[in-house]
Amino acid sequence: MDELISKLEAYISGAIGRDEFSVWFYGVSRKAEVNYSGASLDLIHEVEGIFAEASSGDWSHEGLVEELQSMVMRYRLVPLEVGASKHLSV
């Protein structure tokens, strides 16, 4: 979960672009059901939902960033459960 949050924060801050984040995230989300559980899997699904809503709802970049910032703050407070995957590399 830490790597996903770090990538989200990099996207939010503008350190990486949407295309770079999307390519990386696609690799993670494609294998999510097999490789992740608990809070890590919840986070992946929530990111998928936010990007889907943003795309279909014609959100501004600022609106998308605001929603992602709120989500990251919530997940920063969720400890990784024992035995959960801490590694989200592609």
Q: How does pLDDT run across 63-76, given as a tens digit for each residue?
A: 999 999 999 998 88
pTM for this prediction: 0.79
Contact 7, 75 (CB under 8 A): no
Residue 72: C-alpha distances to residues 6, 34, 41, 67, 78 (Å):
9, 23, 14, 9, 10
Quick check: helix, strand or coil at residue 8? helix
CA 65, CA 33: separation in Å to the nearest integer?
25
- Long-range CB contact pairs, 31-34, < 8 A, 24+: none
Q: What does the pLDDT read at residue 84?
A: 44
Q: What confidence tens digit (pLDDT) does each residue in 26-39 have? A: 999 999 999 888 88
